[in-house]
Chains A and B, each alone.
Chain A
């Protein structure tokens, strides 16, 4: 049993891979991690400082005859990066051609009717780039920090999601600035019908809405 302290940029699949586990669920479903699992819910959105218990590897003994080819299926859930792209008007970027670059390799993709693109990634992927091939969209490539999405309960988690949703909250850190407050108010104004809900504070209700709107 090892205790692992989560660092910025860590996500469970990556940690699992580093410890030699093909399936992150062996760690996530371990009773020692029940509290953390309940708190974070999404194994790929952890927070620096979270404590993870990593069980020992169990050696599986499988009898196998020599000089014969044996095939083994490794049970592992594929890890992917899933993005849903929308225009400023919130309409999905259906059918738009993109290029998703992950750790240096470029994958041309076309967004589906919901503006969604996804691609498998290796457990160690950390950096990527997104290019939108649309004659009218002139944003240069967008840098992606994979695995750096903090939980929605934390300030950097608010900021990252607000930025992703187009509300420009400022750099993703723990500073609660006026720009962040303005972004929260704009978000609340757009997503809550009742004007009394617009208070510039990201409480549990706003956080839940933010998680729902962002997708994770």
Chain B
């Protein structure tokens, strides 16, 4: 088994991770001598979450960028690893602008993500035909999709050609004008191209696999916008005054970017909500439903205060109490890196051929407080585990149990300890990374050098060997 670790976080465009949910603690009940019952009602708790950053959308728009494919790939693994866990999508906006506009814009983003997952091109057509403020798909959706598929689109004439070519390739009358039917096909092609699982197959979710099972035509329970009510970070009063100056508009938008995210919560299998019971208004509706669920001190929460506040530190930036209860302790609602993912490669022999991965192995891993995630290795024999930084996961595979611990970082590649750590990761038995050369370390180096024809086989950690080890590990 070889190991390779990589980081993911807000810089990459999203997060996909299990949730350490607040599981049911002790239930205190009273015995009865007459007819009193103790009611036990199972809470609606997220078991996993996924976050798509603002950078994956066109600016001020609900149109999803091709680069979001990476996040959708991670979502696919998460969804497949938690069979039966229903989803609900929450779009968010930043505090700039008015409540109503922001609610609708965040609702449009949530709608776009939902539609992508279920392949509902009518919903995208609705977004296209009904622009709102700066969110106007008519500006560039068609050219973007054309270019993405390799068709010309840079000028109006080229675009017309591009559309004709697309239409011809897709069995549509080649008019050169993107009518409704053409757009529907374009949307579908784009969705299939960028919403795929790790093996490259299109990834689709059924409407019935969402929290309200698609029962409401307006998506109540399945997707909604929270507007600006639940930011993950709130500027201090001073910062806000500074950033509100006209010159600083770009800076403010950049600083506010973490707030403009789309979240998906996945709940325990078996959870189901009837739209009538769900407190969140529909994506297209106004804010009064949200206001009913505000904290009693929502006004304070929504005001820029003395200090700069971030949700994971102060836990007081969300105005909606209902959302707050789901977001509490969510690894997706941090504004900084909180988790890391580890790729483990299961191969027959260490270090030789990355293509000799063992396919079809069933595995299951658990992190403290989370539901087990199941999967099967693909052709590359890879298992990707997401672990909160500093925590460990238990992986069961091939009849064995491994404890996978996320670590803060490797020692530099040109220090003995770093060499030892990396050799261990590559599957060479250097035993313990002590920082000093010993017989095991020497033997491991010999083996590594033997596997790498360009190196001299002398068991010594020379610069070329250290570099080669570093390259093999990837960091």
Contacts and interface: CB of A to CB of B under 8 A. Distances in A.
Nearest to A88: B44
A145 interface: yes
Residue of B37, B269, B273, B322 ringed by the most chain A CB atoms within 10 A: B37
Contacts of B269: 136-138
A45 B271 contact: no
A145 to B, nearest CB: 5
A142 B30 contact: no
A86 B28 contact: no
A164 to B, nearest CB: 5
Contacts of A118: 37
A88 B33 contact: no
A154 B15 CA distance: 42
B24 A90 contact: no
Interface residues of B, number: 45
B38 A149 contact: yes
Contact of A216 (B23, B32, B293, B328): B32
Interface residues on A, range: 35 or more
Nearest to A143: B26
A44 B34 CA distance: 10
B218 interface: no
Interface stretch (A53-61, A65-73, A192-200): A192-200
B270 interface: yes
Nearest to B278: A89
B296 interface: yes
A138 B39 contact: no
A81 B40 contact: no
Interface string A141-178: 01111111110000010001001111110011000001
A90 to B, nearest CB: 6
A46 B274 CA distance: 38
A42 interface: yes
Contact of A84 (B39, B44, B293): B39
A89 B43 contact: no
B39 A86 contact: yes
Contact of A87 (B27, B41, B325): B41
Contact of A80 (B25, B32, B43): B32
Contacts of B325: 168, 182, 186
A84 B271 contact: no
Nearest to A28: B33
Secondary structure type dominating chain B contacts: loop
A45 B26 CA distance: 17
A192 to B, nearest CB: 12
A62 to B, nearest CB: 26
Contacts, number: 179
A166 B45 CA distance: 9
A109 interface: no
A83 B296 contact: no
A148 B292 CA distance: 34
B273 A89 contact: yes
Contacts of B26: 143-145, 148, 172
A149 B42 contact: no
Given A13-B33, A79-B33, A83-B37, A149 B270 contact: no
B29 A81 contact: yes
A167 B22 CA distance: 11
Contacts of A140: 23
A216 B43 contact: no
A114 to B, nearest CB: 9
B33 A78 contact: yes
Interface in A184-216: 185-186, 189, 195, 198-200, 213-216
Residue of B38, B269, B272, B325 ringed by the most chain A CB atoms within 10 A: B38
Nearest to B271: A88
A163 B231 CA distance: 27
A125 interface: yes
Interface string A20-57: 00001000000000000000001111000000000000
Contacts of A13: 31, 33
A44 B29 CA distance: 10
Contacts of A85: 40-42
Contacts of B27: 130, 142-145, 160, 163-164
Contacts of A148: 26, 28-29
Interface string B70-96: 000000000000001000000000000
Interface of A: 11, 13, 24, 42-45, 77-90, 116, 118, 121, 125, 130, 134, 136-140, 142-150, 156, 160, 163-168, 171-172, 178-179, 182, 185-186, 189, 195, 198-200, 213-216
22 contacts: A43-B33, A44-B30, A44-B32, A80-B33, A81-B31, A82-B32, A83-B37, A86-B39, A90-B41, A90-B277, A134-B270, A140-B23, A143-B25, A146-B30, A166-B43, A178-B315, A182-B325, A185-B296, A186-B325, A189-B293, A213-B39, A214-B38
Interface of B: 22-45, 84, 268-274, 277, 279, 292-293, 295-296, 315, 321-322, 324-325, 328, 371
